[in-house]
């Protein structure tokens, strides 16, 4: 049920995005009524998205045939805002794609070109000059926050990994994941063999 | 003269004449139609929207499909289906109750959904469509009000196209004892009181709670669908089994 709630939240956010950025409607013209399914490897769950002309519909636990089926981790999906990375991620086996590649590229390109004019939207409530002032200050705060955040993250990571030794290095985690995937595959093969022997 | 079981039907916990049940159910829905949506949100705390979302996700409805939303009431499913099938498809919102159909039609027109929706007053036991007409049929929270459920399922099977599917979204039985007790307490005490305060009609909401208890459980409904001819039948419990989504295909 959590997945259904998540799909409802994502759907209303995407539909809000359509209102805030009318250009998105034009960018998605070629995606109309086509279904793109996204399998989140970390959650082992498939969501699907379709654009019906003036709004998005998001499905959870999607088991039907989609025009394009993508399987990737959440982290990989966040990189998809750059459409040129799509083929690179497929080659790196971080992303599987079946079906209409063009559809995935269209979505990726449409979402990466979103530039919401926040000042324009805000000016309706507080006027032009104050809206511009608020946006400029927010942008400055965002850049400063990013710099402080990145330096803080790097310090904490070094502290946890090297000094306190309470967390493992990302490479070790990757190795562990590969190991578990290998064991999972071996177990599946063994299960298949046992099944074959039992069926004889 | 004593009535045989074939002549009677359940109306909540009461046993009534088969002929009489349809008009009693009609009275209930005439009475609740105007406040149906607001009561649904209040009674289910909005969760009915999530149950319906899941039914839509499992429907496989695509552009060009012909869909029958049976017992469609105020058109929650029809609204989404209408957008999914586009102008090249068609959605028929069917209900036995004209008050519900009127509320549904007004609501969908206010949403700007016109063009590919038709409104038909119909009895689920004898659907007025030719054989093999629909790609998808849904019946959400309606089957338990049908007098002869087997006849309704056979009728749905008849009008489905080969490869088409039926989705039955309906209240069901929870296996969780604690949840079951809480649910009983809520539906037999709180629900009629809410009905009395908001819709000034406690009896209709008492019937709702009773009809849910009298409805076949998950496995029974699954076997009823198989008897009607459906294949690859399955069900998915939601909210601990309070609601179940049954699915069956015609091949």
Pick the CATH number of A2-112 from 3.30.1050.10, 3.30.565.10, 1.20.1250.20, 2.60.40.10: 3.30.1050.10
> Where is pLDDT greater, at A138 or B200?
A138
Nearest CA to B21 among B210, B245, B191, B216? B210
Q: pLDDT tens digits, residue range A59-92? A: 888 888 888 888 888 888 877 777 677 778 888 8
H helix and E strand count, chain A: 8, 5
Measure the CA–CA gap between B117 and B133, rounded to whole angstroms.
15
What does the domain layout of chain A look like in residue ranges?
2-112, 120-199
Closest chain B CA to residue A62: B57
Minimal-distance CA residue of chain B relative to A67: B62
What pLDDT does residue B159 have?
A: 92
Q: Tell me the per-residue pLDDT of B100-139, one tens digit each, with 9 for 90 and over.
A: 888 888 888 888 888 889 999 888 888 999 999 999 999 9
A60 to B53: CB separation less than 8 angstroms, yes or no: yes
Nearest to residue A39, comparing CAs of A96, A85, A89? A96
Q: Which residues pair with A99 in a beta bridge?
A: A68
From B62's Cα to the closest Cα of chain A, the distance in A is 8
| Angstrom distances, CA of residue B188 to CA of B51, B55, B162, B206, B210 | 22, 27, 42, 7, 8
- What string of DSSP letters covers B56-95? HHHH---TT-EEEEET-TT-HHHHHHHHHH-TTSEEEEEE
Does A7 contact B53 at a Cβ distance shorter than 8 Å? yes
Lowest model confidence (mean pLDDT) among A86-90, A130-134, A175-179, B66-70: A86-90
More confident residue, B223 or B187: B223
Domains of chain B with bracketed CATH: 6-175+207-249 (3.40.50.150)
B162 CB-contact burial (10 Å; exposed 0-12 / middle 13-18 / buried 19+): exposed
Share of chain B above pLDDT 90, in %: 28
Higher pLDDT, B85 or B190: B85
Interface test with B, best of A4, A11, A56 (most B CBs within 10 A): A4
Residue B190 CB contacts under 8 Å (≥ 6 apart), including other chains: none
pLDDT, residue B14, reads 66
Residues from chain B that touch A55, judged by Cβ atoms under 8 A, are 83
Query: Is A138's pLDDT higher than 70?
Result: yes
Query: For A52, which of B54, B84, B238 is closest by C-beta distance?
Result: B84
Structure tokens at A66: 């989609």
Among A52, A53, A65, most B C-beta atoms within 10 A, so best to mutate, is A52
Determine what percent of chain A is predicted with pLDDT higher than 90: 20
């Amino acid at each position: 049920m959590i997945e259904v709630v998540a799909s409802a939240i994502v759907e209303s956010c995407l539909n809000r995005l359509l209102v805030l950025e009318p250009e998105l409607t034009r960018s998605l013209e070629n995606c109309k009524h086509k279904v793109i399914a996204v399998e989140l490897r970390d959650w082992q769950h498939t969501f699907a998205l379709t654009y019906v002309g003036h709004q998005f519909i998001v499905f959870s636990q999607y088991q039907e045939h989609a025009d394009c089926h993508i399987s990737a981790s959440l982290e990989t999906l966040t990189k998809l805002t750059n459409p040129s990375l799509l083929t690179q991620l497929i080659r790196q086996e971080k992303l599987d794609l079946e079906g209409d590649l063009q559809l995935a590229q269209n979505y990726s390109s449409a979402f990466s070109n979103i530039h919401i004019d926040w000042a324009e939207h805000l000016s309706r409530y507080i006027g032009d000059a104050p809206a511009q002032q608020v946006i400029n200050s927010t942008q400055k705060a965002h850049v400063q926050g990013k710099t402080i955040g990145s330096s803080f993250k790097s310090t904490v990571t070094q502290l946890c990994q090297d000094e306190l030794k309470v967390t493992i290095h990302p490479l070790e985690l990757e190795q562990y994941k590969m190991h578990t995937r290998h064991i999972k595959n071996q177990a599946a093969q063994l299960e298949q063999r046992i099944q074959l022997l039992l069926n004889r | 003269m004593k009535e045989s079981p074939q002549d009677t039907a359940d109306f909540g916990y009461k046993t009534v004449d088969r002929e009489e049940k349809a008009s009693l159910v009609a009275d209930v829905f005439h009475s609740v139609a105007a406040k149906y949506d607001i009561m649904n949100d209040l009674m289910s705390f909005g969760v009915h929207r999530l149950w319906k979302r899941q039914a839509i996700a499992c429907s496989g409805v695509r552009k060009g499909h012909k869909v029958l939303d049976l017992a469609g009431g105020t058109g929650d499913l029809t609204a989404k289906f209408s957008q999914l099938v586009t102008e090249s498809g068609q959605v028929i919102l069917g209900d036995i109750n004209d008050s519900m159909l009127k509320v549904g039609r007004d609501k969908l027109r206010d949403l700007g959904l016109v063009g590919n929706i038709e409104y038909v007053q119909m009895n689920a036991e004898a659907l007025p469509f030719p054989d093999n007409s629909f790609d998808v049929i849904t019946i959400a929270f309606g089957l338990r009000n049908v007098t002869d459920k087997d006849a309704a399922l056979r009728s749905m099977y008849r009008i489905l196209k080969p490869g088409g599917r039926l989705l039955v979204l309906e209240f069901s039985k929870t296996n969780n004892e604690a949840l079951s007790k809480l649910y009983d307490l809520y539906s037999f005490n709180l629900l009629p009181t809410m009905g009395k305060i908001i819709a000034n009609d406690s009896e209709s909401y008492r019937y709702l709670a009773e009809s849910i208890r009298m409805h076949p459980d998950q496995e029974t409904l699954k076997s009823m669908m198989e008897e009607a001819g459906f294949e690859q039948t399955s069900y998915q419990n939601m909210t601990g089994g309070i609601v179940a989504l049954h699915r069956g295909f015609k091949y």
